[in-house]
């Protein structure tokens, strides 16, 4: 059974007030940048956690394969902004080790056995821990960066006499 990670976001009141007065394009551009910085914070925490449990005796380096990527499927389907933080080559599918060895950290499909455990080895969650320990910090980064982007857009638009 998979453990759920739940959290509450607090401190968005001032940001939501500013968002009501912006056009969609302005919201999207500033939001994507702010969301990337928040995802990078979680990515860096996951890398640090992975380095603690990674076996230095092997060629595989889980931390080198942890990346954040723009979630274009979510954006196309719903219009929502989203980034994914994950392990390159993650599931691997039908790929062989040779096909995945070109990744920066090599073939790291075994990361899920460390993260979720098996019937013989206990779980050593490093990814879920990275998110759960940094939810508030990532939220704070997102709010701070988004407010800066909105303030820049408002300032730029007021100089030009445009409606944002």
**DSSP states of 128-159:** HHHHHHHHHHHHHHHHHHHHHHHHHHHHHHHH
CB-based contacts of 83: which residues, under 8 Å, 6+ apart? 35, 36, 38, 39, 68, 69, 70, 71
Assess whether pLDDT exceeds 70 at residue 49: yes
Residue 59 is predicted with a pLDDT of 82
Residue 96 is predicted with a pLDDT of 74
Q: Which residue has the higher pLDDT, 29 or 36?
A: 36
Assess whether pLDDT exceeds 90 at residue 21: no
Average pLDDT of the segment spanning 2-12? 64
Assess whether pLDDT exceeds 80 at residue 38: yes
Percent of the chain with pLDDT over 70: 79
Say what angle helices 127-160 and 24-53 make with each other, to 10 degrees: 150
> Domain locations in the chain?
24-160
Residue 163 is predicted with a pLDDT of 56
83-113: per-residue pLDDT in tens?
999 998 777 666 776 667 777 777 787 888 8
When the pLDDT of each residue in the chain is averaged and rounded to a whole number, the result is 83
Residue 2 is predicted with a pLDDT of 57
Average pLDDT of the segment spanning 127-151? 92
116-137: per-residue pLDDT in tens?
999 999 999 999 999 999 999 9
Residue 50 is predicted with a pLDDT of 94
Cβ atoms of 38 and 142 within 8 Å: the answer is yes
């Amino acid at each position: 059974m998979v453990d759920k990670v739940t959290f509450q976001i607090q401190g968005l009141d001032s940001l939501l007030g500013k968002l009501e007065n912006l056009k969609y394009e302005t919201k999207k551009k500033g939001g994507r940048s702010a969301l990337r910085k928040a995802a990078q914070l979680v990515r860096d925490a996951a890398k640090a956690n992975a380095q603690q449990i990674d076996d230095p005796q092997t060629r595989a380096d889980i931390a080198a394969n942890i990346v954040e990527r723009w979630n274009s499927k979510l954006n196309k389907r719903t219009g929502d902004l989203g980034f994914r933080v994950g392990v390159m080559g993650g599931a691997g599918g039908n790929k062989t080790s040779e096909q995945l060895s070109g990744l920066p950290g090599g073939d790291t499909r075994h990361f899920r056995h460390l993260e979720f455990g098996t019937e013989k080895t206990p779980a050593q969650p490093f990814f879920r821990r990275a998110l759960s320990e940094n939810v508030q910090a990532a939220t704070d980064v997102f709010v701070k960066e988004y407010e800066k982007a909105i303030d820049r857009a408002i300032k730029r638009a007021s100089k030009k006499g445009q409606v944002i």
